[in-house]
Amino acid sequence: MTTTISPGQTDRMSEFDALMWIVERNPMLRSTMTSVAIFDGQPDRKVVRERIDRMTRVIPRLRQRVRGNPFSIATPRWEIDPDFDLDYHLRWIGVGGDRTVRDVLDLTAPIVMQGFDRERPLWEADVVEGLADGTTALILKTHHSVVDGMGAMRMQMELFDFEPGIVDKGPMPDAPSEVVLGQAERSVDALAHELRAQREVFAAGRDFLKANLMHPLDTTRSVAEGVVSAGRLLKPIDAPLSPLLSERSLNLRLDTIELSLSELKAASKLAGGKLNDSFLAGLCLGLGEYHQRHGLPAEALRFGVPVNQRPKDGDDSTEGNHWAPVRFELAILDDPIEQMHEIQARMAATTAEPALAWLASISGAIRRLPKPMATAIVTASMRGTDVQASNVPGSPLPLYLAGVPMLAQFPFGPVTTSALNVTLLSYQDDLHIGVAMNDAAIDDPGQLVDDLRNGFRQVIGGKSRRTP
């Protein structure tokens, strides 16, 4: 059955996604997510193409492009690309050098750096064949407005199988179709969308007043706390905390780290925490060691971390973003347990910020400003971040592409204005970590990655640098 989205059923970016879309006029604010998956063999091209074609039919967002309206303040609309060409988005390529995973990462770096063609759907896939050890790599890149980290994992469930062999997924679904609006129709649709949005804002304000009218002092205090909280979240910061990782450019270097999921989880339990605590602690200890090595100790670093805001009511949507960006300073300590306790305290305070509930309203207010001003505000609020860090739960079961088993999948998140982005993805009992480094900030990336590995070893071993 063909899915049809009519002009009366608008599909639009959220306020937050729309803001991130607008501010990409600054290329350092591009929001792309890339993964490099390694398979133990060469999947059949015909089957891979069929699987990706099916994925774009089941998830219409992968066939949609973003259409703005200069005559409206409504958020951009997602519309089916009438000229969608699967072979533009899916390519088979080779790699030079020694044809190793290292060469694949070097090939991937410029792909990560490049912006998308804004006239087309915001994703691309490159299948790298002919690696020296017989493996194949799949480089999958999507814009953050298409899916967030959790959504990307659900999206991949359409692409991969849980069992070997060629799995029959049944008849190919029909391609989604949509009426492509003209300018006049787009303006009318945008006006209708804004009227609906304003009615929702009015209703929310009315309900808030009804609920709090009998407690004016508490209400005033709550609003004041929210305003102060928003100020903390958006406060412009001129420079990162690191005395070493201060320069920035548009060039990136990629590397990887592999760890044991069970070992890092066990380390978290020593501090009464979760996997994210030991993950961030490993980064802190490794970065502390790197700064010490260069004779410029870091007392604290500023981290940017996405906080999952997907509803807990069973909503399994793959599309759009369901996270809030938070930033906080972490003291760099020597002891893994103390470091995890520091992380727990900072995360608890930051995720309790009242303004996180206002994310859509704050984003909408900034988005409505002139584009240069909105870009400047977002840039200023992110400029002082040293490290972006994220962890995403992956499949606990083995995955297959066209019957070929996946060996590993390394995620690379947006570095934006930071010195590096470190993203963790679990797979069975393994943790695959992608490290994307700004090469102006880090001129010895191999040494940094070695120090990060040592930081994780310290966390897993429960030993600090000061331990004899």
Query: Residue 424 sits in a domain of what CATH number?
Result: 3.30.559.30
Of 144, 291, 322, 432, the catalytic one is 144
Average pLDDT over residues 289-303: 97
State the pLDDT at residue 169. Answer: 80
For every residue of 47-102, which 3-state class applies, written as one string? Answer: HHHHHHHHHHHHCHHHHEEEECCCCCCCCCEEEECCCCCHHHHEEEECCCCCCCHH
- The distance between the two most distant Cα atoms of the chain, rounded to a whole number of Å, is 74
**Percent residues over pLDDT 70 in the chain:** 78
Do residues 165 and 266 both lie within one domain?
no
The last residue of a domain, from among 170, 186, 208: 170
Cα–Cα distance between 124 and 116 in angstroms, integer?
9
Mean pLDDT across the chain: 84
State the pLDDT at residue 308. Answer: 65
Do residues 162 and 258 both lie within one domain?
no
Q: Residue 272: which pLDDT band, with cuts at 50, 70 and 90?
A: very high
Do residues 14 and 153 both lie within one domain?
yes
Q: Residue 365: which pLDDT band, with cuts at 50, 70 and 90?
A: confident
Task: Specify if 229 maps to a domain.
Answer: no
Do residues 287 and 431 both lie within one domain?
yes
Q: Residue 359: which pLDDT band, with cuts at 50, 70 and 90?
A: confident
DSSP 133-151: TS-EEEEEEEETTTB-HHH
Domain range for 20 is 7-170
Distance of CA 236 to CAs 350, 377, 384, Å?
17, 8, 8
The last residue of a domain, from among 170, 192, 221: 170
Task: Specify if 307 maps to a domain.
Answer: yes
State the pLDDT at residue 466. Answer: 46
Cα–Cα distance between 155 and 317 in angstroms, integer?
10
Burial status of residue 420 (CB atoms within 10 A of its CB: 0-12, 13-18, 19 or more): buried
Contact between residue 69 and residue 190 where contact means Cβ atoms under 8 Å apart: yes
Q: Residue 403: which pLDDT band, with cuts at 50, 70 and 90?
A: very high
Per-residue pLDDT tens over the stretch 313-351: 544 444 555 567 788 999 999 999 999 999 999 988 887
315: which residues sit within 8 A by CB, 6+ positions away? none
- Here the CATH number for the domain that contains residue 92 is 3.30.559.10
58 pLDDT more than 80: yes
SS3 202: helix
Task: Specify if 182 maps to a domain.
Answer: no
Do residues 446 and 343 both lie within one domain?
yes
Per-residue pLDDT tens over the stretch 178-216: 767 766 666 666 666 666 666 655 565 555 556 555 555
Strands (DSSP E) along 111-213, which ranges? Answer: 123-128, 136-143, 177-178
Do residues 161 and 260 both lie within one domain?
no
Per-residue pLDDT tens over the stretch 119-163: 999 999 999 999 999 999 999 999 988 875 555 666 777 899 988
- Active site annotation includes 144: yes
Most confident among 83-92, 193-202, 361-370 (mean pLDDT) = 83-92
Cα–Cα distance between 407 and 101 in angstroms, integer?
12
Task: Specify if 405 maps to a domain.
Answer: no
Position of tokens 């505000």? 377
Do residues 272 and 143 both lie within one domain?
no
Contact between residue 326 and residue 356 where contact means Cβ atoms under 8 Å apart: yes
Task: Specify if 134 maps to a domain.
Answer: yes
Task: Specify if 207 maps to a domain.
Answer: no
Do residues 166 and 256 both lie within one domain?
no
Q: Give the residues across from 392 on adjacent strands.
A: 425
State the pLDDT at residue 441. Answer: 97
Task: Specify if 195 maps to a domain.
Answer: no
Average pLDDT over residues 89-99: 95
The last residue of a domain, from among 170, 187, 214: 170
Do residues 155 and 274 both lie within one domain?
no
Cα–Cα distance between 336 and 342 in angstroms, integer?
10
Contact between residue 426 and residue 398 where contact means Cβ atoms under 8 Å apart: no
Per-residue pLDDT tens over the stretch 236-267: 688 899 999 999 999 999 999 999 999 999 99
State the pLDDT at residue 351. Answer: 78
Do residues 140 and 269 both lie within one domain?
no
9 pLDDT more than 80: no
Do residues 328 and 454 both lie within one domain?
yes
100 pLDDT more than 80: yes
Task: Specify if 175 maps to a domain.
Answer: no
Do residues 148 and 263 both lie within one domain?
no
Which helix (H) or strand (E) is 184 found in, with range?
helix 183-212
The closest of 161, 160, 149 to 425, measured between CA atoms, is 149
Contact between residue 431 and residue 259 where contact means Cβ atoms under 8 Å apart: yes
State the pLDDT at residue 197. Answer: 65
State the pLDDT at residue 157. Answer: 78
Q: How many domains, in total, are found in the chain? A: 2
